[in-house]
């Protein structure tokens, strides 16, 4: 199975409405360092394995027309293709 498909199968996300922040994790959330790749999009990287373990999106309402599982998966896939 394709590595990106495996990551998508283990996709977890949580949206904080008050802060308008979306937290996306591949598997269980882990401690990580953040690397801002574009305005409001931070890749969370495991510093020991140098592996992307999640994505944090700030100002979600500006980036998503609707917040659904499909839109989160599509956004995540695009980010992985660009940066991971």
Does pTM top 0.85 for this prediction? no
In the prediction, which pLDDT does 6 show? Answer: 44
Asked if residue 73 is part of any domain, the answer here is: yes
In the prediction, which pLDDT does 81 show? Answer: 81
Count of structural domains, the chain: 1
User: Long-range contacts: 23-29, Cβ < 8 Å, 24+?
Assistant: 23/54, 23/56, 24/54, 24/55, 24/56, 24/57, 24/72, 24/76, 25/53, 25/54, 26/52, 26/53, 26/54, 27/53, 29/53, 29/54
Q: What is the full per-residue pLDDT of the chain (84 aa) written as tens digits? A: 345 444 555 788 898 989 999 999 988 888 899 999 889 999 999 999 888 899 999 998 888 777 777 788 888 888 888 865
Give me the domain span that covers residue 42: 3-77
């Amino acid at each position: 199975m394709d590595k990106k498909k495996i990551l998508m199968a283990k996709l977890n996300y949580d949206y904080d409405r008050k802060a308008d922040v979306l937290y996306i994790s591949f598997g269980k959330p882990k401690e990580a360092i953040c690397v801002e790749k574009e305005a409001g999009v931070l890749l969370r990287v495991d510093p020991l394995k140098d592996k992307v373990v999640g994505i944090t999106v700030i100002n979600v309402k500006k980036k998503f027309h609707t917040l659904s599982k499909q839109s989160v998966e599509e956004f995540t896939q695009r980010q992985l293709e660009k940066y991971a």
